[in-house]
Structure 1
């Protein structure tokens, strides 16, 4: 039976027109999606451990076609929204909203093209004003994050993202945040400025706490930046646990496999009483929560 949180979640994913910046939160329903309540305890079984698929040449060719179609489709939507962003240059907040709408439309479209079955858990936590964090391995993670973060969310990326063809320029036009990771002092100041920006403009934030992509899908140690942001903004932290993406698109591979994917929103973690002298404890606590909710093949090794 569908609960009220799930109903709201699905209603908020009605396809948003790129000409209407006052639209709702999410894009429309994607084929092969099921939505579940967040369980009280995460099962310790790993549904991906014994996953196998067809390695024949037919499925390989189909996968290549899907990837090419994804790339071409993304070029089209990126070009369209780049033009929209240029028109909206005097209105930075509207550019953020349009950047989110671009992500909802493009992310949903790319996942539809790839065709992986998707299960969403904890949908009732998906519309919080919060700092969203996510584990990160293959490019599919980016597609899911683009699609599933709410309107009014900005990302943080390294400053070099501007050199990524089309996507990097759109990222900057959408008024997302960039930091200089080459200098620790400058990076800390960038984080402080980011916190002031999201508080001033009543925004949410999405960040990958590992700081880089995992090569094998296993959870890496967390950097401290997301905790600094939480303490300075006092926003709750909503973990988004992505399962199965490491099987669907393995590092170094040009083939996407039809592995099932799971997106699990965990309950918000309050940061109202967090203190600077306990940052290491908070990082460890959130990392442990993630490890407990990941399938076995994605948990960090001892």
Structure 2
């Protein structure tokens, strides 16, 4: 962890982690200390019928282009704000979160997917929040739902993304080197456990469903699938210890296996029994 991490335990933070999952293998992890009031959307009653016709694809492309253009506009505006706030790093962090709230909510509105949020009473808990990640839409949702004060962690290559990458750096978020994928995956997977042991804060799992159908990885077709954001009850971590890290990771892993629909469940990895020669 970078040197700023130890001094930032009591601040909000967001970290993308990877679990062995199917069909898409990564599970996002978000650390948020604080509350998000007023979170909730009245679910629409529209029934989702998958449509891959030319009209549906055309509408999808229009939505994606509109999202891209809108995001570039808000990113440019907040980049100017960040430059003005260069001497005040915490204010840049706050503005980065506000940018995420505005942009994430706007992008979800443009995409038009009906959203249902359950367990919003746990969104006000002072805790470490983790969530699964299977689609670009997950990023938009977390940008929108992340409380002010959150520190993000992304791959170091994000700096090369036009405007967005520079804004990310200006907002005082952290970057990690993923040149060694195996080590990075293991470190990220155990990251929320170490933070919990240091802060003694509870963990609130967030289960995102439907996003893998709405925008499939590698596809440019966004479908109007209904989405659900479900906050689960807090998990106490007061008695967590370093010698049981694997057990803590497995417990959270099992929670997602229980609450995710079959196509989104993480893989159950069975340990091999050593053979005697």
Instruction: Give the Cα separation in 2 of the matches to 1:102 and 1:271.
Output: 32
Aligned to 2:56: 59
CA deviations 1:219-246 (Å, max 9, x no partner) are xxx8212212222232222211100100
Higher relative contact order (CA 8 A, sep 6+): 2
Is residue 27–residue 147 contact of structure 1 (8 Å, CA) maintained in 2?
Answer: no
Q: Which moved more, 1:102-111 or 1:157-166?
A: 157-166
Instruction: Give the Cα separation in 1 of the matches to 2:259 and 2:62.
Output: 33
Normalised by the length of structure 1, the TM-score is 0.70
CA deviations 1:224-274 (Å, max 9, x no partner) are 122122222322222111001000011221110000000011112222221
Q: Which moved more, 1:237-246 or 1:291-300?
A: 291-300
Aligned to 2:113: 116
SS at match of 2:239: coil
Matches within 5 A, 1:247-286: 247-286=213-252
Residue 195 (structure 2) aligned to one of 193, 211, 229: 229
Instruction: Give the Cα separation in 2 of the matches to 1:252 and 1:183.
Output: 23
Aligned to 2:141: 144
What 5-or-longer segments of structure 2 have no aligned partner?
1-34, 269-277
Aligned to 2:155: 158
Is residue 26–residue 104 contact of structure 1 (8 Å, CA) maintained in 2?
Answer: no
Is residue 36–residue 145 contact of structure 2 (8 Å, CA) maintained in 1?
Answer: no
Is residue 81–residue 102 contact of structure 1 (8 Å, CA) maintained in 2?
Answer: yes
Aligned to 1:170: 167
**Structure 1 runs of 4+ with >4 Å offset:** 24-30
Instruction: Give the Cα separation in 2 of the matches to 1:127 and 1:178.
Output: 27
Instruction: Give the Cα separation in 2 of the matches to 1:156 and 1:239.
Output: 18
Normalised by the length of structure 2, the TM-score is 0.76
1:119 is displaced (CA, Å) by: 0.4
Instruction: Give the Cα separation in 1 of the matches to 2:170 and 2:36.
Output: 20
Aligned to 2:26: none
1:29 is displaced (CA, Å) by: 7.3
1:86 is displaced (CA, Å) by: 1.1
SS at match of 1:133: strand
CA deviations 1:63-108 (Å, max 9, x no partner) are 1000000000000000001111111111111111111111111000
